[in-house]
């Protein structure tokens, strides 16, 4: 348990993966709140939408047509942020103050299901397992490219997160650099592994399993918890129970375990405010740079913007933008609320494909 005085008094918590602090002000959570927590009528979507650029058989921008796919479907993004074959150029002026360099890369879109009206939380176990298998296969394929050093798998869900289309899909951006967030985690995990000979997240997971108060859903392969240093109100961290460095290293059983936790967690999120819960989800895996990565422990972050209801979101502005992230709701109470809604182990045959 936490030192009792921290339950009421302002304090800051360290994120050992990034080396950054978050300010926690639990006493503010008790302040009067006039807003209602009300269910929002869900948008009714058709199973197939003739105007959707991700539905089977439909045309996309640029003239491509999607095949009549049955499971997942991957295509090269028609508006990629990164492209292959960019000339290798570096600009360094003003004694290192004005620096730019070229970044080659490949951007893909992953349709999770042919059904326009589903989310990960509503798909069957087999459907979500198919998504994980696709992430694994894409990671293997993209990391084999000689100019790729990092493969970022992610999903932006919901209009609140800037997602342009409700059709269940995610993206993969593979790049020639190791981007900011994984680069921070590489440095901290490396330092921890060289000091202790064990992975940072393996030791952290052992601590959380004993403490119990931040656990949300788990099985023998994957644990979802609200990290001690969570910034977003209902942020979660998914950690592999057996340390592996990347998605392709997950065994078949472990992929089933991740599918089970992903489904139960996204269902718990949907039940929290009785709304199809928006979030950004991303897998953090080892860089594919030919170095061994015994320090890297496969994990995923889920960052949902909602704070008090389906319509009240947290904004990262003011102090957060200029000084440090801050939260009122403690990670422990967020975990308790999610745990209550994710307690049941779902039957494998509920849901849709």
Phi and psi, residue 152, nearest 5°? -100, 115
Q: Looking at the DSSP assignment, which residues form a beta bridge with residue 20?
A: 15
> For the window 154-193, what string marks contact with Zn ion as x by the rule CB under 5 A?
-------------x--------------------------
> For the window 24-43, what string marks contact with ligand H2U as x by the rule CB under 6 A?
--------------------
Question: What is the largest distance, in Å, between two alpha-carbon atoms of the chain?
Answer: 62
The beta strand positions in 241-331, using DSSP E, are: 279-284, 299-303, 306-309, 312-313, 326-327
Q: Which stretch binds ligand H2U (CB under 6 A): 76-84, 180-188, 230-238, 328-336?
A: 76-84
Q: 113 vs 139, which CB is nearer to Zn ion? A: 113
Q: Which stretch binds Zn ion (CB under 5 A): 43-51, 92-100, 212-220, 235-243?
A: 43-51
Q: Determine if 6 is a binding residue for ligand H2U (CB under 6 A).
A: no
Which two structure tokens, joined as six digits, stand for 113? Answer: 């299901």
Closest chain position to ligand H2U (CB): 60
Q: Determine if 113 is a binding residue for ligand H2U (CB under 6 A).
A: no
Q: Which stretch binds ligand H2U (CB under 6 A): 25-33, 161-169, 265-273, 343-351?
A: 161-169
| Cα radius of gyration (the chain) | 21
Q: Answer whether 182's CB lies under 8 Å from 284's CB.
A: yes
Q: Determine if 53 is a binding residue for ligand H2U (CB under 6 A).
A: yes
Q: Determine if 317 is a binding residue for ligand H2U (CB under 6 A).
A: no
Q: Determine if 111 is a binding residue for Zn ion (CB under 5 A).
A: no
Q: Looking at the DSSP assignment, which residues form a beta bridge with residue 236?
A: 302
169 classed as catalytic:
yes
Site for ligand H2U in 186-225 (CB under 6 A): none
Catalytic residue, chosen from 169, 221, 284, 301, is 169
Nearest C-alpha neighbor of 54 from the set 108, 107, 114: 114
Q: Figure out which of the listed residues 122, 156, 266, 309 binds ligand H2U, where binding follows CB under 6 A.
A: 156
Q: Which stretch binds Zn ion (CB under 5 A): 11-19, 41-49, 125-133, 316-324?
A: 41-49
Phi and psi, residue 126, nearest 5°? -65, -40
Q: Answer whether 85's CB lies under 8 Å from 104's CB.
A: yes
Q: Figure out which of the listed residues 40, 46, 78, 289 binds ligand H2U, where binding follows CB under 6 A.
A: 78
- Whole-angstrom Cα distance, residue 209 to residue 305? 26
3-state percent breakdown (helix, strand, coil) of the chain, nearest 5 = 30, 25, 45
For 292-319, b/e burial (b = at least 16 CB within 10 A) is ebbbbbbbbbbbbbbbebbeebbeeeee
Residues of the shown chain interacting with Zn ion in the complex, contacts defined by CB under 5 A: 49, 52, 54-55, 116, 167
Residues of the shown chain interacting with ligand H2U in the complex, contacts defined by CB under 6 A: 53, 60-61, 77-79, 109, 156, 163-165, 169, 171
Annotated active-site positions, please?
169
């Amino acid at each position: 348990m936490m030192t009792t005085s921290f339950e009421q008094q302002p304090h800051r918590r360290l994120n050992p993966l990034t080396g950054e602090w978050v300010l926690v002000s639990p006493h503010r959570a008790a302040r009067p709140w006039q807003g209602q927590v009300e269910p929002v009528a869900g948008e009714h979507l058709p199973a197939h939408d003739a105007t959707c650029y991700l539905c089977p058989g439909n045309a996309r921008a640029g003239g491509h047509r999607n095949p009549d796919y049955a499971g997942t479907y991957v295509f090269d993004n028609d508006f990629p942020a990164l492209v292959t074959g960019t000339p290798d150029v570096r600009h360094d002026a003003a004694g290192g103050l004005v620096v730019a360099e070229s970044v080659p890369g490949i951007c893909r879109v992953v349709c999770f299901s042919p059904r326009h009206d589903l989310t990960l939380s509503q798909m069957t176990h087999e459907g979500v397992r198919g998504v994980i298998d696709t992430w694994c296969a894409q990671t293997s394929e993209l990391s084999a490219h000689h100019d790729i050093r990092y493969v970022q798998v992610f999903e932006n869900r919901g209009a609140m997160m800037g997602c342009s289309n409700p059709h269940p899909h995610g993206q993969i951006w593979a790049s020639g650099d190791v981007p900011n967030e994984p680069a921070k985690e590489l440095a901290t995990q490396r330092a921890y592994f060289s000091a202790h000979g064990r992975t940072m997240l393996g030791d952290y997971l052992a601590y959380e399993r004993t403490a119990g108060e931040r656990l949300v859903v788990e099985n023998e392969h994957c644990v979802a918890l609200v990290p001690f240093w969570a910034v977003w109100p209902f942020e979660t961290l998914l950690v592999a129970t057996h340390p592996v460095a990347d998605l392709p290293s997950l065994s078949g059983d472990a992929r089933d375990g991740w599918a089970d936790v992903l489904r139960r967690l996204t269902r718990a999120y949907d039940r929290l405010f009785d709304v199809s819960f928006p979030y950004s989800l991303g897998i953090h895996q080892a860089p594919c740079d030919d170095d061994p990565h015994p320090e890297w422990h496969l994990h995923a972050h889920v960052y949902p913007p909602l704070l008090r209801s389906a319509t009240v979101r947290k904004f990262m502005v003011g102090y957060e933008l200029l000084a440090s992230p801050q939260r009122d709701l403690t990670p422990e109470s967020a975990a308790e609320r999610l745990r209550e809604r994710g307690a049941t182990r779902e039957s494998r045959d509920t849901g849709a494909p």
